Chains A and B, each alone.
Chain A
Amino acid sequence: MPTNDTSRVKPERRRLVEILLGGGLIASVISFVYPILRYLVPPPVADLGGDEVVACKKGDLKPNSSKIFRFGNRPALLLLTAEGEYRALSATCTHLSCTVQYRNDLHQIWCACHNGLYDMNGRNVAGPPPRPLEVFQVNLRGDDVVVRRKQGA
């Protein structure tokens, strides 16, 4: 280091430069490296899903019952028919965006807000809803019931 030559520079001044430069360099490098190291630590949740989400485990639902799960940023409805078939649909009513529910007495999907009815395929069959509910694809992967948006829709 050229600073070893003290003939012209006062010692206190030399120390100041050393502290500023050395301390600053070390501190700044730490402030760059620390976030990167933290960044490399994988977070506890592996991902945010996207167009595919695990709605529940096999066996969580009894036949002729349903559950609401989060799909992207909207609620969706997973229902297990009395015949043991899984169906997944958007749970947002096409009328005024209330959350719909499965009525196991009617075997239909019902919106409580204005008495809208959809059949199990999401078709609007009675009441105000102007359009059918969006239908998602359900796959079984091991023990997971996986719901995904239909391709090309």
Chain B
Amino acid sequence: MWRNKTIWRYAWPGLLLCLAAVPALAQSTSTCLDCHATLDPPLQVTEQQFAADIHAQKGLTCASCHGGDPKLADMDAMSKKAGFRGKIEKKQIPELCGKCHSDGAYMRQYNPSLRTDQLAQYKTSVHGKLLAKGDLKVAVCTDCHGLHGLRPASDTRSQVHPLNVAKTCSRCHADAAYMKDHHIPTDQFAKYTTSVHFDALTVRGDLSAPTCTTCHGNHGAAPPGVDSVQNVCSNCHVFQSQLYEKSSHKAAFQRSALPGCMVCHGKHDISHPTDANLGAGPKAVCMQCHKPGDVCDQARVKILGNLTQLDDGIRGADQLLAAAEASGMEVSEARLEQDQARDALTKARVSIHRFRVDPVNQDVQAGMKIVAKNLQAGKDALRERDYRRMGLGVALLSIFMVLVGLRLYIGKMEQKAR
């Protein structure tokens, strides 16, 4: 091993050179940080921020956005002569980002599948239009994506990660004082946090559940028009949309310029629909428009009756099966079948969107057939339990007879032996 000493003799200087080059390399990209890491905000950019930044990771430097020449000494680096742009005006930010992000050929070098239409979309958004009019209160790229230390949207720490989007939007949109001049409500976030979608996203951790941008768009953020509500919802709720399309409500709502799905379900505070929505109580939605006793009301009563029938049926079978299970009977198969009945109920509840009795009734009857089978399985199990207990009774009785007989026999035998 040590015979190779000569190699070491020559390798040493080279190694030292390499080591020396490392800090030099780092300096060449970010001499900016030497000062800016020590400055106070807003001029501060720390090493950690820079290291976390996706642009820095891809090899971009401060100069890529701010111009200047970090290789020059001291303040020369930030001279006009070196092309230094200084702080970017808010109004210029979208265009600056777009310089790269709208350039398909350029972006392809880094992430060929990334879209390059953000700037074009932004110009169609309410934010973009207002910015063009000189309103500096609107969001530009950096307001949502962050500034230095910018992380890609797939990073859970990013402000535009699905879990953080609503919070990010709410920074402005829930601030009544900030939104004062724009005359739009500021309760969307508060309402959204009570919705079934928020619950799915945050509690159940379903990252595909809708947040603000799912319905409003992200770069092209704007409220969907009355006519496009159904289209937006149908991205996930396909069946409901298909049925609604064929229903009488579609045309009626269109005539009255009513916003489709939202008429019954609301918008930001969409709650989990229940059968009570079809009722006549405080949660009833039908009766907002319909008169009691008319044809539609009669159909409503029938549909509700159907759904209640299946719901009660499922619950009844569940109870019976639970009772059978509690007394030790094996009914796991029927328990499994119950899921199919529940599926039928879900399907029936979707079929409501056709607003006719027949489709709902069909689904309900299919479910009731399964329920009847499971109910029978539960009854059979309970009968089997009684049969077992009777058998036990017979066996215990005969055992008891033997015991008494033996006792008497032993007594007699020993009496005799004495």
Report the nearest B residue to A128, measured CB to CB: B208
Q: Are B235 and A115 in contact (CB under 8 A)?
A: yes
Query: Given A24-B405, A115-B238, does the pair A99, B343 have CB atoms closer than 8 Å?
Result: yes
Q: Mark B95-132, 1 if CB is under 8 A from A, else 0.
A: 00000000000000000000000000000000000000
Report the nearest A residue to B208, measured CB to CB: A128
Query: Given A8-B415, A9-B412, does the pair A20, B398 have CB atoms closer than 8 Å?
Result: no
Query: Given A5-B416, A9-B412, A95-B206, does the pair A20, B235 have CB atoms closer than 8 Å?
Result: no
Q: Which residues of B sit under 8 angstroms from A13, Cβ to Cβ?
A: 408
Query: Given A27-B394, A73-B332, does the pair A128, B405 have CB atoms closer than 8 Å?
Result: no
Q: Are B395 and A31 in contact (CB under 8 A)?
A: yes
Q: Which residues of B sit under 8 angstroms from A16, Cβ to Cβ?
A: 408
In Å, the complex CA distance between A13 and B411 comes to 12
Q: Are A20 and B402 in contact (CB under 8 A)?
A: yes
Q: Which residues of B sit under 8 angstroms from A19, Cβ to Cβ?
A: 405
Q: Are B416 and A127 in contact (CB under 8 A)?
A: no
Residue A112 interfacial (CB < 8 Å): yes
Residue B176 interfacial (CB < 8 Å): no
Query: Given A21-B405, A128-B206, does the pair A28, B416 have CB atoms closer than 8 Å?
Result: no
What does DSSP make chain B's interface, helix, strand, loop or mixed?
A: helix
Residue B136 interfacial (CB < 8 Å): no
Contacting B413 at CB < 8 Å: which of A2, A25, A99? A2
Q: Which residues of B sit under 8 angstroms from A128, Cβ to Cβ?
A: 206, 208-209, 236
Q: Which residues of B sit under 8 angstroms from A99, Cβ to Cβ?
A: 343
Q: Are A8 and B208 in contact (CB under 8 A)?
A: no
In Å, the complex CA distance between A129 and B208 comes to 8
Q: Are A27 and B398 in contact (CB under 8 A)?
A: yes
Q: Are B401 and A95 in contact (CB under 8 A)?
A: no
Residue B284 interfacial (CB < 8 Å): no
Q: Are A20 and B399 in contact (CB under 8 A)?
A: no
How many of A's residues come within 8 Å of B, CB to CB?
34
Q: Which residues of B sit under 8 angstroms from A129, Cβ to Cβ?
A: 208
Q: B249 to nearest A CB, angstroms?
A: 21
In Å, the complex CA distance between A43 and B343 comes to 31
Residue A17 interfacial (CB < 8 Å): yes
Q: Which residues of B sit under 8 angstroms from A35, Cβ to Cβ?
A: 391
In Å, the complex CA distance between A17 and B415 comes to 15
Residue B72 interfacial (CB < 8 Å): no
Q: Which residues of A sit under 8 angstroms from B346, Cβ to Cβ?
A: 98, 113
Q: Are A127 and B208 in contact (CB under 8 A)?
A: yes
Q: Which residues of A sit under 8 angstroms from B237, Cβ to Cβ?
A: 114-115
In B369-418, which residues have CB < 8 Å from any A CB? Answer: 391, 394-395, 397-406, 408-409, 412-413, 415-416
Residue A84 interfacial (CB < 8 Å): no
Q: Are A2 and B398 in contact (CB under 8 A)?
A: no
In Å, the complex CA distance between A9 and B362 comes to 78
Report the nearest B residue to A73, measured CB to CB: B336
Q: B42 to nearest A CB, angstroms?
A: 39
Q: Which residues of A sit under 8 angstroms from B336, Cβ to Cβ?
A: 73
In Å, the complex CA distance between A130 and B201 comes to 13
Residue B15 interfacial (CB < 8 Å): no
Further contacts, 9 of them, CB under 8 A, given A24-B398, A127-B236: A3-B409, A20-B405, A24-B403, A25-B405, A27-B401, A35-B391, A73-B336, A114-B238, A130-B206
Interface residues, chain B, CB within 8 Å of chain A?
Answer: 206-209, 235-239, 332, 336, 343, 346, 391, 394-395, 397-406, 408-409, 412-413, 415-416
Can you identify 22 A-B contacts, CB atoms within 8 angstroms?
A3-B409, A3-B412, A5-B416, A17-B405, A17-B412, A19-B405, A20-B402, A20-B408, A21-B402, A23-B398, A24-B400, A24-B403, A24-B405, A25-B405, A27-B401, A28-B402, A31-B394, A98-B343, A99-B343, A115-B235, A130-B207, A130-B208
